[in-house]
Structure 1
Amino acid sequence: MIEEVQKLIKHEAEAILNIPVTDQFEKAIELINERVHRQKGKLVASGMGKAGQIALNIATTFSSTGTPAVFLHPSDAQHGDLGVVQPNDILLLISNSGKTREILELVDLADNLYQGLPIIVITGNPDGELAQLADVTLFTGNPAEVCILGLTPSTSTTTMTVIGDILVVLMMKQIGFSNEEYAKRHHGGYLGDKSRNQARLKK
């Protein structure tokens, strides 16, 4: 069992190390900074199924670190929730296959509401239909799933999460996000106390 665990960890770690590092990361940060911090829009993240859970995590992490973001469920968007989208927003869409029907439909719906919203895509298929619609494509490397069936989103969602973390950290550096600002967004809990203590120590 221990050897199997080590093997699985190695598989996941290698997938992370094989994420392609391109200028698309810089372009993504430039777009997010322009739309959210200069034009006062927000990042709207979306994905279906497991990818949707990753999108939700990325959105909440962005919000907690100074970049306003929301999660929009692609199915709920078809029943009125699309109204959360505003003219200066930017879309962050996640689909491993790059052809998730609900996400492709969301692109059409958003474009019908506000034409030309910038789109950042995280995908395992850089040649897919979704990538063709994107302004920026962040490729996961399309790693083989660690799942014994090769089906369950596992390693793919690991790489998606890491790409999201990279975007968050790069944006924090871009806007000079501080302990003081972090504390303002975390009133309660351990992290709130820690950020306030760190802010006091820096004064």
Structure 2
Amino acid sequence: MLTSINELLEKEAQAVKNIPITDAYEKAVELIVEQVHNKNGKLVTSGMGKAGQIAMNIATTFCSTGIPSVFLHPSEAQHGDLGVLQKNDLLLLISNSGKTREIVELTKLAHTLNPELKYIVITSNPESPLAEESDICLLTGHPNEVCLLGMTPTTSTTVMTVIGDILVVETMRRTCFTIEEYSKRHHGGYLGEKSRELSK
């Protein structure tokens, strides 16, 4: 088992190293800063299934680092939750295939509500409907899943999480987000206590 675990770690680590790094990251961070930090919009993340859980995690991480963000479930969006979208908001959509029906439909509904809404998309497929619809597309590098069946989202969700971390950290850098500001947003638990100590 130890050999198998080491092989899994190597495959996941290599997938992260193979993430295509382009100027799309700089453009994505600039768009987040412009729409949310400067224009007082919010980042609205969305994804279906496992990708949705990654989108939710990215939203909560952005919230704690000075970028107001919410997760919009693509199915609930069709039943009224689309109303969360406001002027200057920005959508961050995640789909490994770039063809997820609920997410593709969400882009159409959101554009009907507000044609000026911009999209950042995280996907493995540069020729997918979502990639073509996006203002900025961040590619995962299409890693093979480490799942024995090659099906279960494993490596792909690892890579999506890392891409989200890159966006968060680079946005923090661009907005000069401080430990003092962090402590105001994260009061409870160990991190809250630690951030208050460091901000003194």
Q: TM-score, normalised by structure 1?
A: 0.98
Deviation by residue 1:128-182 (Cα, 9 ceiling, x = unmatched): 1100000100000000000000000000000000000000000000101101000
Residue identity matched to 1:42:
K
| CA–CA separation in structure 2 for the residues paired with 1:131 and 1:7 | 32
Mind listing any 5+ residue stretches in structure 2 that lack a counterpart?
A: none
**Matches for 1:85-164 after TM superposition, within 5 Å:** 85-164=85-164
Please list the CA deviations of residues 7-29 of structure 1 after superposition, one character each: whole Å capped at 9, or x if unmatched. Answer: 00000000000000000000000
Q: Distance in 2 between matches of 1:2 and 1:145?
A: 19
In the alignment, which residue of structure 1 is the partner of 2:26?
A: 26
CA distance in 2, matches of 1:179, 1:190: 14
CA distance in 2, matches of 1:186, 1:167: 20
Distance 2:109 2:15 in 1: 34
CA distance in 1, matches of 2:36, 2:128: 27
Identity %: 65
Q: State the aligned residue count.
A: 200
Note the C-alpha offset of 1:37: 1.0
| Alignment match, 2:195 | 195
Deviating runs (4+, > 2 A) in structure 1?
A: none
SS in 2 for 1:22: coil
> What's the CA shift string for 1:89-121, capped at 9, x where partnerless?
000000000000000000011111111211000
Distance 1:8 1:188 in 2: 35
| Structure 1 portions without partners, runs of 5+ | none
Using the TM superposition, give the Cα deviation of residue 187 of structure 1 relative to its aligned residue in structure 2, in angstroms.
1.3
SS of the residue corresponding to residue 199 of structure 2 reads helix
| CA RMSD across the alignment | 0.5
The answer for the alignment partner of 2:74 in structure 1 is 74
1:5 — aligned with what?
5
Work out the CA distance in 2 between the residues paired with 1:69 and 1:32. Answer: 11
Q: Which amino acid in 1 is paired with 2:74? A: P
Q: Which residue of 2 aligns with 1:184?
A: 184
Note the alpha carbon deviations across 1:3-60, whole angstroms, 9 max, x for none: 0000000000000000000000000001111100111100000000000000000000
Superposed, 1:21-60 pairs within 5 Å as: 21-60=21-60
Distance in 1 separating the partners of 2:159 and 2:127 = 18
| Partner SS, residue 29 of structure 1 | helix
Letter in 2 for 1:116: E
Q: 2:174 matched to which residue of 1? A: 174
Q: CA deviation at 1:186?
A: 1.0
**Corresponding residue SS for 2:187:** coil
